[in-house]
């Protein structure tokens, strides 16, 4: 915190620090500015990822060649995966909204290591640019799929090493963010902010941060080993050199499955914030939701090999991992039941963030249930590597985390920027997006069940109708995205100005600081005397009703 408070009680947008203009942003250690830097860079990468997805779907609108050759198609689905996973979904909520709101929601002035925080953004940008550069470098864009499976990733002549290095650098960015969050939650909570008074978004970020710190180094070292394998033919994974390709898959998924929870847990945290605010009541089962985040982080780290049921693992391992997969559904279901129970008998106010939050619950539930279907060993053999799995993880990752990010945007936009978007347009955008999403991804469940393999460039005529519907869905979805983003961006310029602290009537600390927040968030360091969802305005209105009844 600065020694002088003479000029820091201004909005973080207006604060004139040592550096001005763009340097005042890209060299700023203010967690809010870093959060916005992440938001901007992430949205650019997201736009690239969406474009690749759109092109893939366009190619698949009819059998045979439509707009590209098979090699280009392989590169495009690889880059779509790498960009969406490593540059959008994984950093999405922790890096943008975690950075912006974690310190505010625990009553701190910043994260524990602000410079490390800035470094993590720089690493993110460098890693992202390296991933994009791998497309245009001589040798051709990588074509391995985002999983870089051995032995193909050792043998292909495309730019696998730059893509591996990009993922390696992005991993470091993620570790630093996680480390920062763990330390911040332990060391910088305001007076009275006990662990059981932490908002559930913070519990989610805290659990996620642990996974980031513990699991990411494993993918880092694994990707380095693949690089060594390519450069020096060491023989760790490549079977022709005496290596074990299944070991690669184990090491890859030891990180990459928990990474799924790095993606989804913060989104669940956002939903846990939004539901009680718009139901105008205390969240149902606070401790259960808090511990379920930890439970998902814990069990989620132990289920990685359910991605590998067809590689020839031992029967014992398959049974163990199948059972663990079913167990991880329990804490996820705890959350869903508690959100729905919170809505029950609440005084529900239907605003745009609630639309997105409800869509999250609906889509995530479909994604979660279809995950359980695949967790069963016998069924997994039937649908493994089909478009059923593509549909499943898009329902979880996009329908879940993606909609979680959109929920967070609509919920916190007025607080972050002091401007309000057009609510009617955002609801139109929502419905377009929601319809487009389901039209795009649901046919994949059907054709996957019927046997359509994933990642295939061409297909048999009987799958045409499903691909056609799916591609039309992608157009509707993109229109929805455009409506939503244009509406949000337009708000920055000409949206209604917001100055009141508590726009939605929330009880967590971000609604008690100025809009937009001051440089060090609060004029005075807050003291916390109650839990995060104790709705005083409800109590007051109830008191009034009681008084009237008594009179």
Task: Report residue 227 as tokens.
Answer: 């690089």
Closer to other proteins at the Cβ: 324 or 513?
324
Nearest-angstrom CA–CA distance, 400 and 357: 9
Q: At closest approach, how far in Å is the CB of 469 from other proteins?
A: 39
Q: At closest approach, how far in Å is the CB of 251 from other proteins?
A: 9
Q: What is the DSSP string of 71-132?
A: HHHHHHHHHHHHIIIIIIIHHIIIIIIIHHHHHHHTT-SS-S-HHHHHHHHHHHHHHHHHHH
159: left (phi over 0), alpha (psi -120 to 50) or beta: beta
Closer to other proteins at the Cβ: 231 or 316?
316
Closer to other proteins at the Cβ: 367 or 526?
526
Closer to other proteins at the Cβ: 353 or 526?
526
Closer to other proteins at the Cβ: 346 or 526?
526
Q: At closest approach, how far in Å is the CB of 405 from other proteins?
A: 28
Taking a C-beta distance cutoff of 8 angstroms, is the pair 296, 210 a contact? no
Q: At closest approach, how far in Å is the CB of 209 from other proteins?
A: 12
Q: At closest approach, how far in Å is the CB of 180 from other proteins?
A: 14
Determine phi and psi for 386, rounding to 5 degrees: -110, 175
Nearest-angstrom CA–CA distance, 204 and 268: 7
Residues 6+ apart with CB under 8 A from 394: 367, 440, 441, 444
Closer to other proteins at the Cβ: 166 or 215?
215
Nearest-angstrom CA–CA distance, 166 and 125: 10
Nearest-angstrom CA–CA distance, 347 and 281: 7
Chain contacts with other proteins (rule: CB under 8 A):
182, 186-191, 193-194, 210, 213-214, 218, 246, 250, 254, 301-302, 305, 313-317, 320-321
Closer to other proteins at the Cβ: 206 or 413?
206
Peptide bond into 325 cis (omega under 30): no
Task: Report residue 309 as tokens.
Answer: 């049921």
Q: At closest approach, how far in Å is the CB of 219 from other proteins?
A: 13
Q: At closest approach, how far in Å is the CB of 210 from other proteins?
A: 8
Please report the beta strands in 122-199, taking only residues with DSSP state E, as ranges in sequence order: none
Closer to other proteins at the Cβ: 179 or 289?
179
* Nearest CA-CA partner of 509 in 101, 192, 105: 105
Q: At closest approach, how far in Å is the CB of 307 from other proteins?
A: 13
Q: At closest approach, how far in Å is the CB of 313 from other proteins?
A: 5
Residues 6+ apart with CB under 8 A from 105: 198, 199, 201, 202, 508, 509, 510
Closer to other proteins at the Cβ: 142 or 300?
300
Task: Report residue 51 as tokens.
Answer: 């474009």
Task: Report residue 242 as tokens.
Answer: 């005496």
Give the three-state DSSP class for 181. Answer: helix
Nearest-angstrom CA–CA distance, 80 and 132: 11
Nearest-angstrom CA–CA distance, 109 and 521: 6
Q: At closest approach, how far in Å is the CB of 300 from other proteins?
A: 12
Q: At closest approach, how far in Å is the CB of 28 from other proteins?
A: 24
Taken in order 94, 97, 102, 105, the sign of the CA dihedral is negative
Closer to other proteins at the Cβ: 19 or 187?
187
Taken in order 222, 228, 233, 234, the sign of the CA dihedral is negative
Nearest-angstrom CA–CA distance, 387 and 4: 59
Q: At closest approach, how far in Å is the CB of 441 from other proteins?
A: 31
Closer to other proteins at the Cβ: 191 or 497?
191
Closer to other proteins at the Cβ: 246 or 468?
246
């Amino acid at each position: 915190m600065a020694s002088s408070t003479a000029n820091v009680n201004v909005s973080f947008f207006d604060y004139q620090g040592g550096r001005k203009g763009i340097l005042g942003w890209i060299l700023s250690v203010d967690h809010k500015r870093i959060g916005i830097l992440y938001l901007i860079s992430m949205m650019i990468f997201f736009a690239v990822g969406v474009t690749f997805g759109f092109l893939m779907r366009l190619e698949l609108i009819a059998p045979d060649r439509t707009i590209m050759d098979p090699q280009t198609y392989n590169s495009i689905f690889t880059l779509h995966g790498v960009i969406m996973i490593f540059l959008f979904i994984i950093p999405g909520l922790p890096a943008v909204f975690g950075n912006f709101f974690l310190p505010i929601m625990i009553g701190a002035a910043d994260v524990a290591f602000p410079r490390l925080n800035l470094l993590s953004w720089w690493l993110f940008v460098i890693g992202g640019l390296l991933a994009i550069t791998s497309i245009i470098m001589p040798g051709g864009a990588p074509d391995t799929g985002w999983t870089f499976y051995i032995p193909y990733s050792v043998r292909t002549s495309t730019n696998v090493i730059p893509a591996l290095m990009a993922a390696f650098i992005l991993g470091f960015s993620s570790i630093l963010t996680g480390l920062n969050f763990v330390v911040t939650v332990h060391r910088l909570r305001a007076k009275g902010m006990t662990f059981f008074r932490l908002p559930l978004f913070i519990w989610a970020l805290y659990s996620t941060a642990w996974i980031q710190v513990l699991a990411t180094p494993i993918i880092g070292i694994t990707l380095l080993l693949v690089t060594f394998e390519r450069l020096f033919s060491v023989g760790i994974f490549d079977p022709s050199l005496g290596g074990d390709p299944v070991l690669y898959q184990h090491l890859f998924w030891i990180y990459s499955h928990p990474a799924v929870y790095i993606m989804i847990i913060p989104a669940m945290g956002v939903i846990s914030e939004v539901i009680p605010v718009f139901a105008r009541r205390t969240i149902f089962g606070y401790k259960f939701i808090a511990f379920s985040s930890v439970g998902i982080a814990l069990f989620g780290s132990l289920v990685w090999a359910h991605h590998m049921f067809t590689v020839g693992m031992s029967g014992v391992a398959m049974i163990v991992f199948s059972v663990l997969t079913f167990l991880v559904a329990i804490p996820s279901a705890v959350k869903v039941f508690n959100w729905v129970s919170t809505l029950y008998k609440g005084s529900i106010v239907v605003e745009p963030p609630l639309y997105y939050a409800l869509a999250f619950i609906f889509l995530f539930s479909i994604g979660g249930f279809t995950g359980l279907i695949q967790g069963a060993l016998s069924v997994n053999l039937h649908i493994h590597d089909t478009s059923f799995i593509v549909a499943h993880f898009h329902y979880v990752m996009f329908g879940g985390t993606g909609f979680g990010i959109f929920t967070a945007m609509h919920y916190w936009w007025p607080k972050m920027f002091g401007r309000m978007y057009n609510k009617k347009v955002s609801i139109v955008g929502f419905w377009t997006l929601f319809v487009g999403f389901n039209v795009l991804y649901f046919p994949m469940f059907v054709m996957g069940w019927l046997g359509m393999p994933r990642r295939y460039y061409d297909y048999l005529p009987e799958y045409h109708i499903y691909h056609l519907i799916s591609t039309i869905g992608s157009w509707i979805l993109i229109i929805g995205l455009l409506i939503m983003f244009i509406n949000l961006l337009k708000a920055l310029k000409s949206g209604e100005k917001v100055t009141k602290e508590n726009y939605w009537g929330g009880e967590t600390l971000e609604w008690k600081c100025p809009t937009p927040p001051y440089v060090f968030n609060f004029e005075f360091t807050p003291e916390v005397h109650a839990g995060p969802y104790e709705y005083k305005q409800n109590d007051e209105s109830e008191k009034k009703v009681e008084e009237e009844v008594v009179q």
